[in-house]
Amino acid sequence: MEGRSWRWTDAHFCTLPSQTNVYGHAKILDSDGANKFLIASLVGKIFSVEYQRIFDKLTPFTREIQFTYIPGDDTEINAVDALSHCSHGKRLIIAIAFTKTEDNESKQFLNLYTPSQYGEEFNMENVAEECRLSLELYFVPYQLTHTEMVSNNGRETVFLLSGSDGKIHLFRECNSEHIFIEEDSGVFFPEFIASASCVHWLDIVYIDNYTRRLTAMGHQCGLLIASIVDVQKLEILRTFTVDYDSPITYVHFFTSHNEVSCPKFLKSFIREQRKMYRIGQKEEDERNPQVPEYHLLALSALEPAIVYEHVLQHGFTHSIILPDSNKFDAILCGSVTDIDFDGENEILIGTYGQELIAYKLNHSKTQRSRDEVNLSTDSCESKKIWHYSSDKKTTDPPSNPIFLPPRRVRSQESFPVSLESDNDRSFMDTKKELCASLKELPKNRSDMQAVEEGCLLWQRSFAYPVIGINKLDIMGDGMEDLIVVTLKGVHVLQPDLHEVAKVCLDRLQMLTDENPDKKEKDSCK
In this complex, which beta carbon is closest to another protein, that of residue 215 or of residue 337?
Answer: 337
Q: Interaction with another protein in 239-278: which residues (CB under 8 A)?
A: 257-263, 265-266, 268-269
Q: Interaction with another protein in 91-150: which residues (CB under 8 A)?
A: none
Q: How far is CA 189 from CA 49, 222, 312, 503, in A?
A: 34, 21, 18, 43
Task: Select the residue interacting with another protein from 183, 338, 381, 433 (CB under 8 A).
Answer: 338
Give the angle subtended at the CA of 219 by the CAs of 221 and 137, to the nearest 5°: 110
Q: Residue 243, Cβ neighbours under 10 Å: how many?
A: 17
Q: Is 505 in the site for another protein (CB under 8 A)?
A: yes
C-alpha of 280 from chain center: 38
Task: Select the residue interacting with another protein from 5, 17, 33, 235 (CB under 8 A).
Answer: 33
| CB distance 375 to 383 below 8 Å | no
Task: Select the residue interacting with another protein from 155, 379, 497, 518 (CB under 8 A).
Answer: 497
> Least distance to another protein from the beta carbon of 279, Å?
12
CB-count burial class (<10 Å; 0-12, 13-18, 19+) for 421: exposed
Per CB under 8 A, which region of 59-67, 136-144, 233-241, 436-444 contacts another protein? 59-67
Q: Is 341 in the site for another protein (CB under 8 A)?
A: yes
Q: Residue 141, Cβ neighbours under 10 Å: how many?
A: 23
Closest residue by Cα to residue 201 from 109, 100, 333:
333
Give φ, ψ of 502 to 5 degrees. -60, -45
Instruction: Report the side by side order of strands in the sheet with 75-83.
Output: 75-83, 93-102, 105-113, 131-137
Task: Select the residue interacting with another protein from 174, 193, 375, 501 (CB under 8 A).
Answer: 501
| Residue 208, beta-bridge partner list | none
In this complex, which beta carbon is closest to another protein, that of residue 93 or of residue 493?
Answer: 493
Q: Is 500 in the site for another protein (CB under 8 A)?
A: yes
Q: Interaction with another protein in 462-491: which residues (CB under 8 A)?
A: 462-463, 473, 475-480, 489, 491
Q: Is 279 in the site for another protein (CB under 8 A)?
A: no
d(CA 178, CA 485): 31
In this complex, which beta carbon is closest to another protein, that of residue 181 or of residue 262?
Answer: 262
Give φ, ψ of 238 to 5 degrees. -145, 150
Q: Is 11 in the site for another protein (CB under 8 A)?
A: yes
Closest residue by Cα to residue 422 from 404, 395, 398:
395
Task: Select the residue interacting with another protein from 62, 164, 414, 437 (CB under 8 A).
Answer: 62
Residues binding another protein (CB under 8 A): 9-15, 32-33, 51, 57-62, 257-263, 265-266, 268-269, 284, 338, 341-344, 354, 391, 460-463, 473, 475-480, 489, 491, 494, 496-498, 500-501, 503-505, 507-512, 520, 523-524
